[in-house]
Amino acid sequence: MSGQSITDRFAAAQHSMTGSAISKAVCKATTHEVSGPKKKHLDYLIHCTSEMNVSVPQLADTLFERTANSSWVVVFKALIATHHLMMYGNERLIQYLASRNTLFNLNNFLDKGALQGYDMSTFIRRYSRYLNEKAMSYRLVAVDFTKMKRGTDGVMRTMSTEKLIKTLPIIQNQLDALLDFQANPNELTNGVINAAFMLLFKDSIRLFAAYNEGVINLLEKYFDLKKGQCKEALDIYKKFLYRMTKLSEFLKVAEAPSSLLEALEQHLASLEGKKTKELSADTRYCTTGLALNHRIMSTVKPVEEAHENVYFTIKPV
């Protein structure tokens, strides 16, 4: 239990006495120790989300209670634990989170008393906004974009025009909230923010995969759309180009493999009509888009697997 504060130990003992195993696990996952939540505690909480005798609202409320703490470390780790459960836990957890009118209300959070308190509070506010947006996306479409079936027979590639025009802006909003985290390598200074950034990195790749496939599907239909739909599709396409640039910057911070960055840059060049080593400017988008989509998607799974249990190098303060 080294690294835990007296407060952490007292809280854990208190939960042991009351018999609340979930509360005890949440408490241990969100200690004052400046490191990411321990895997054994997260694994236990993931298991709990699938147990029918476990109250998901109670589990979620226990995490919410930890975000009321004054310490940036505890709050940040509570957000990380929540994000981890949204990604790897039973779907009924994110269903419950999406059903709530409010999730995290941390827009004014500020830890004035701790080392790195001011800096980390900024990232807590941004991170909480992303988790709110992730839950809102599920509330609007009843699906987690990061877990969608991908490929030519995937959800976004087979979606109708009407649904695409409604769904792609929702993905855009979620991706915007993710990219607004805006951490640079010099700010990844401890195990807590590194753990959060790793989850965001994984979400960014999967979210972009769905986004990319949806845009390609929409552009394949473009010349058959009605006038009003063409305007909406063109606006979505322009926003897509901008977000590709921002995502490339985000991936550079994460030191993503050059193959993924190259695929993104090639794809952006083709959309802008520029010549590349493999593409000509007069090639129809519907052809180049599909080829590059395959290239981008072929990098996604290896990148996800390569980073599954890796944390970023902690840089000296």
Looking at the fold, whether 169 and 302 belong to one and the same domain comes out as yes
Of the three residues 125, 142, 159, the one that is the final residue of a domain is 142
Average the pLDDT over each of 17-21, 123-127, 187-191, 239-243 and give the range with the smallest value: 17-21
Looking at the fold, whether 121 and 157 belong to one and the same domain comes out as no
Per-residue confidence (pLDDT) for residue 50, from 0 to 100: 95
> What's the CA gap between 64 and 79, in Å, rounded?
9
DSSP state of 167: H
Looking at the fold, whether 85 and 166 belong to one and the same domain comes out as no
Looking at the fold, whether 198 and 229 belong to one and the same domain comes out as yes
pLDDT, mean of residues 192-216: 95
294 pLDDT tier (thresholds 50, 70, 90): low
Number of domains in the chain: 2
Task: Give the domain range for residue 75.
Answer: 1-142
Looking at the fold, whether 283 and 169 belong to one and the same domain comes out as yes
Whole-number CA gyration radius for the chain = 21
- Percent of the chain at pLDDT > 90 equals 64
Give yes or no for residue 134 having a pLDDT over 90: yes
CA-wise closest residue to 35 among 199, 185, 196, 190: 190
pLDDT in tens, 35-53: 999 999 999 999 999 999 9
CATH number of the structural domain spanning residue 62 = 1.25.40.90
Q: How far apart are the first and last CA of the chain?
A: 25
Looking at the fold, whether 106 and 164 belong to one and the same domain comes out as no
Of the three residues 83, 112, 142, the one that is the final residue of a domain is 142
Per-residue confidence (pLDDT) for residue 265, from 0 to 100: 72
Per-residue confidence (pLDDT) for residue 186, from 0 to 100: 87
> What's the CA gap between 223 and 225, in Å, rounded?
6
CATH number of the structural domain spanning residue 158 = 1.20.58.150
CA-wise closest residue to 216 among 281, 288, 275, 166: 288
What value does the mean pLDDT of the chain take?
84
232 pLDDT tier (thresholds 50, 70, 90): very high
pLDDT, mean of residues 249-263: 75
311 pLDDT tier (thresholds 50, 70, 90): very low
> What's the CA gap between 239 and 273, in Å, rounded?
16
Maximum pairwise Cα distance, the chain: 71
CA distances from 142 to 8, 99, 135 (A): 37, 10, 10
Looking at the fold, whether 137 and 47 belong to one and the same domain comes out as yes
pLDDT, mean of residues 263-290: 55
Q: Which residues in 221-250 are b (16+ Cβ under 10 Å) and which e?
A: eeeebeeebeebbeebbebbeebbebbeeb
CA distances from 236 to 55, 176, 210, 239, 274 (A): 40, 13, 14, 5, 20
CA-wise closest residue to 309 among 162, 198, 193, 144: 198
Looking at the fold, whether 164 and 278 belong to one and the same domain comes out as yes
> What's the CA gap between 113 and 123, in Å, rounded?
16
Give yes or no for residue 281 having a pLDDT over 60: no
Per-residue confidence (pLDDT) for residue 171, from 0 to 100: 98
Looking at the fold, whether 138 and 207 belong to one and the same domain comes out as no
Looking at the fold, whether 131 and 164 belong to one and the same domain comes out as no
Of the three residues 142, 168, 196, the one that is the final residue of a domain is 142
Instruction: Take residue 169 and report the two structure tokens written for it.
Output: 């802006």
Cβ–Cβ under 8 Å, residues 236 and 243? no
